[in-house]
Amino acid sequence: MEKVTIEGVDLHLTQPDQVPMVWVGQEELVTQVIAAWLVIGDDDLPLNPRLVGKPGVGKTTLAYHAGRTLDRPVYLFQATMDTRPEDLIVTPVISEGGKVKYMASPVVSAMIKGGIAVIDEGNRMSEKSWASLAPLMDNRRYVESIVAGIKIKAHPDFRLCTTMNDDASTFELPEYIHSRLQPQILIDFPERDEELMILKANLPFAEEEILEYVVDFLQTAHEADERYSVRDGINIARYALKRLVESGERMTSSARKKRTLEYMREAASMILDSTAAFYFEDMLDDQDEA
């Protein structure tokens, strides 16, 4: 574990995240995130974009991909309602011999290394936690650790963004924090061709026909203003395929199509709800008529 010394205090850094996140399509959104992070003059500062959208539309994937596009280390921090200011900055732990060891958070590790910090689901955090980051998001560009008694300045290459779900289980951001998390970048459901590309990238082992079933389901659900996302579609397809393989049945092409739809209907009911299952019920009716 890498260690740095700041104002006489040793900080142990978190390693950057290496995760198989693949962003497909909607390149304009990647451009918007990278533009927000640009510095175009000596007196300019990077912005701290907030990525907003329904759960499962790829906000974290977009942020991670944008950071990796810049060839920077990316550090992911999962925010919760229980996140404390020290969780965001420096946490003391007891090491061997009973000594206190100071552990830098992913955010602080990114600050020191000049990486990208992504605070995931940031509006689940309380104002008290956000307040500890306020100096980081303006021209001061530092945080203070009360626990370690030090001030930590951000590397010039450090960048920050947060993702936010638009659901009810979140805090309302105070205005002084809201004004620091700009611009707002909205991630909406993809178009059909992009949705199919995403499914192919995440389900390379799935047959084209199965992917088409999932896209049909998602696109119909989007038109009905349902909140079902690509992530939901991926999970439905994965479970249905596992059920199909586990059954070990040898079937004709027609019987396999029907059984696949039955498993997808079952998966939709288990992963989402009975309403989602009805979409596959309609597909089964069409299959029977054919």
Strand arrangement, sheet containing 3-6: 3-6, 9-12, 100-104, 90-94
Helix (H) or strand (E) holding 113: helix 106-113
Per-residue confidence (pLDDT) for residue 282, from 0 to 100: 77
Q: Give dist(CA 153, CA 156) in Å, integer.
A: 9
DSSP-derived secondary structure for 50-63: EEEESTTSSHHHHH
Domains and CATH numbers, the chain: 3-186 (3.40.50.300), 192-289 (no CATH)
- Nearest to 161, CA basis, from 40, 23, 34: 34
Please tell me the pTM assigned to this model.
Answer: 0.86
Query: For the chain, which ranges sit under pLDDT 70?
Result: 167-170, 286-290
Alpha helix segments (H runs only) across 156-205: 175-178, 192-202
- In three-state secondary structure terms, 209 is helix
Per-residue confidence (pLDDT) for residue 32, from 0 to 100: 97
Per-residue confidence (pLDDT) for residue 259, from 0 to 100: 86
Question: In sequence order, what are the beta bridge partners of 91?
Answer: 103
Per-residue confidence (pLDDT) for residue 190, from 0 to 100: 87
| Peptide bond before residue 55 is cis, with ω within 30 degrees of 0 | no
